Amino acid sequence: AFTPRIVVPQVTGQPPVPLVTGGEIAYANLDHAASTPCLEAVRRAVDEFLPWYASVHRGAGFASRVSTKVYDRTRDVLRRFTSARDDDLVIFTRNTTDALNLLARALPRDTSVVLFDTEHHAALLPWRGPNVIRVPAPRTRAAAVSVVDSALAACPEGPRLVVVTGASNVTGELLPVAEIAAVARRHGARVALDAAQLAPHRPISLRELDVDFVALSGHKLYAPFGAGALVGRADWLSEARPYLAGGGATKAVRVSDEAAGGLEVEWNPGPERHEAGSPNTVGVHALGVACARLAANWDAVIAHEDALLDRLGRGLRTVPGLAELRLFDGEAARVGTVAFVVDGFDPGLLAAVLSAEYGIGVRDGAFCAHVAARRLISVAGGEGIRALRVSLGLGTTEEHVDRLVTALRRIVTEGAHWAYTTSDGRWEP
Ligand code: PMP
């Protein structure tokens, strides 16, 4: 069995305010959807690699050759991790936001882009122009497929792209990606998958899903910050203007018109075209090791998270006044991310109490998905744009989940704690 070994911040000892729970706390990170802790295997690999990083594709020295090998080999890791087609490119980026912005700049002229308005801002905002069609996300998965169908039918002639997330960063629900891709194909459209939230939890197959591009972030799948990837169709990517202009992206540069200061630039094809500048070799290595570890352990990863999600769901149902946010009516397949509002309690205040008094890290706010947050909170019977989000991962234990549920029940049923109440026991956010 796979026992994920996580680099756990050792926050133990007395918290800054007296504990309701009493005694010592160990930090419970229930914010995996924002960023995940680092796998021990990743830390080891980075430690081993640190003495060796050097310029990639540029140096003749031994360290440069080691670095180049590690960097290029990681493209193959990502290729396998996403079941990429033989001719797909793997472009290293900083993160998903960077990858989707790169793709947005690489679209052929007059590409129509169809997407749900509930997407994360990283997927919602990079597309510009009159041909961007943002459709309100419907309340069932079947309707989600059919509104994409209708939107594509109404697109003008020319290239088309559907952008869809694999799993919602607000609700954890899975989107019907394969079904949307099938519809897109019928309209001659391509599909880009925002896999920031799916990649840490489920295998992704470009081939099986029949999608054209996938974007992901290392820091959400158990590597540190700084590296992500865009994987997908070579034709659009190789024909596009380079994402960044600079060294590494060029094959040849010469003066074309000395008097006018003109330059003739021949850009590289392939991933290098969009990777100008010295790359983040250490980050890329960390990303690759994390992907490889996940890929070798999917059954255990999914079993671990499903059991905890089930426990969390059962626990949250016992918290009075708690209403969960959902994209879709009814039960839908999901990863371990749950957002909710609690009647009468400010999410920011709840998050602060959970942190200060129970050592639990959660996220409150609108999760960089303002349209989704506002709408889903209103459907859940709440108000405003802020909710609380709990997200599980390999760093989560049953004790973390139980602690959260106990904490919420206590805060809600006992109404108050000294630090946050007025003298007559009212909550005062
Ligand atoms: N898409 C989704 C669904 C996300 O959850 C996130 C991160 N919250 C992003 C894109 C952006 O990822 P990053 O911040 O790593 O660029």
- So what's the pLDDT on residue 406? 92
Q: How confident is the model at residue 357 (pLDDT cuts 50, 70, 90)?
A: confident
Q: Which of 268-282, 345-359, 412-426 has the highest mean pLDDT?
A: 268-282
User: Is 391's C-beta closer than 6 angstroms to any atom of ligand 1?
Assistant: no
Of residues 227 and 3, the one with the higher pLDDT is 227
Q: What is the mean pLDDT of residues 356-380?
A: 94
Domains of the chain are: 41-295 (3.40.640.10), 297-420 (3.90.1150.10)
- pLDDT tens digits, one per residue of 164-176: 999 999 999 999 9
Distance 97 CA to ligand 1 centre (A): 6
Cα 93 to Cα 73: distance, rounded to the nearest angstrom? 16
CB 39 within 8 A of CB 200: no
Percentage of the chain beyond pLDDT 70 is 91
Choosing from 94, 217, 287 the residue with most ligand 1 atoms within 8 A of its CB, the one to mutate for a pocket test is 217
Maximum CA extent, the chain: 82
Percentage of the chain beyond pLDDT 90 is 80
- So what's the pLDDT on residue 15? 38
CB 392 within 8 A of CB 312: yes
Q: Write down the ipTM of this complex.
A: 0.99
Q: What is the mean pLDDT of residues 205-222?
A: 98
Per-residue pLDDT at 14 exceeds 90: no
Cα 336 to Cα 238: distance, rounded to the nearest angstrom? 37
Q: What is the mean pLDDT of residues 47-74?
A: 92
Q: What is the mean pLDDT of residues 341-360?
A: 90
Choosing from 101, 220, 222 the residue with most ligand 1 atoms within 8 A of its CB, the one to mutate for a pocket test is 220
363: part of which helix (H) or strand (E)? strand 363-365
Choose among 30, 98, 104, 105: nearest CA to 283: 98
**Which ligand 1 atom minimizes the distance to the CA of 34?**
8
Instruction: Show Cβ contacts of residue 151 under 8 Å, excluding neighbours closer than 6 positions.
Output: 114, 133, 135
Distance 103 CA to ligand 1 centre (A): 15
Q: Which of 38, 155, 291, 368 is catalytic?
A: 368
Q: What is the mean pLDDT of residues 330-358?
A: 92
Residue 116, strand partner residues: 135
Compute, in degrees rounded to 10, the torsion defined by CA atoms 404, 406, 408, 414.
-160
Per-residue pLDDT at 22 exceeds 80: no
Choose among 298, 153, 275, 158: nearest CA to 221: 298
- So what's the pLDDT on residue 129? 80
User: Is 221's C-beta closer than 6 angstroms to any atom of ligand 1?
Assistant: no
Task: Tell me how many degrees the CA angle 173-178-180 measures, rounded to the nearest 5.
Answer: 85
Q: Which of 54-63, 348-357, 375-384, 405-414 has the highest mean pLDDT?
A: 375-384
Encoded amino acid at 118, one letter = T
- So what's the pLDDT on residue 5? 65
Q: What is the mean pLDDT of residues 30-34?
A: 96
Cα 429 to Cα 187: distance, rounded to the nearest angstrom? 51
What's the predicted TM-score (pTM) here? 0.92
Of residues 391 and 424, the one with the higher pLDDT is 391
291 a catalytic residue: no
Of residues 3 and 137, the one with the higher pLDDT is 137
User: How many Cβ atoms are within 10 Å of 306's Cβ, its own excluded?
Assistant: 15
Inter-CA distances, 16 with 13, 30, 126, 164, 358, Å: 9, 19, 41, 42, 11
Cα 353 to Cα 286: distance, rounded to the nearest angstrom? 34
- So what's the pLDDT on residue 1? 52
Q: How confident is the model at residue 160 (pLDDT cuts 50, 70, 90)?
A: very high
**Which ligand 1 atom minimizes the distance to the CA of 167?**
3
Of residues 336 and 59, the one with the higher pLDDT is 336
Cα 323 to Cα 114: distance, rounded to the nearest angstrom? 30
How are the residues of the chain apportioned to helix, strand and coil, as percentages rounded to the nearest 5?
Answer: 40, 20, 45
Choosing from 119, 168, 169 the residue with most ligand 1 atoms within 8 A of its CB, the one to mutate for a pocket test is 169
**Which ligand 1 atom minimizes the distance to the CA of 94?**
16
- pLDDT tens digits, one per residue of 254-280: 999 999 989 999 999 999 999 999 999
Residue 339, strand partner residues: 389
Q: How confident is the model at residue 334 (pLDDT cuts 50, 70, 90)?
A: very high
- So what's the pLDDT on residue 18? 38
- So what's the pLDDT on residue 330? 87
Residue 191, strand partner residues: 162
Cα 209 to Cα 161: distance, rounded to the nearest angstrom? 15
Distance 128 CA to ligand 1 centre (A): 19
Burial (CB count within 10 angstroms: exposed 0-12, middle 13-18, buried 19+), residue 11: middle
Q: Which of 23-37, 195-209, 296-310 has the highest mean pLDDT?
A: 195-209
User: Is 96's C-beta closer than 6 angstroms to any atom of ligand 1?
Assistant: yes
Cα 102 to Cα 230: distance, rounded to the nearest angstrom? 8
User: How many Cβ atoms are within 10 Å of 63's Cβ, its own excluded?
Assistant: 13
Cα 90 to Cα 165: distance, rounded to the nearest angstrom? 19
Cα 140 to Cα 128: distance, rounded to the nearest angstrom? 27
Per-residue pLDDT at 12 exceeds 60: no
Cα 309 to Cα 90: distance, rounded to the nearest angstrom? 32
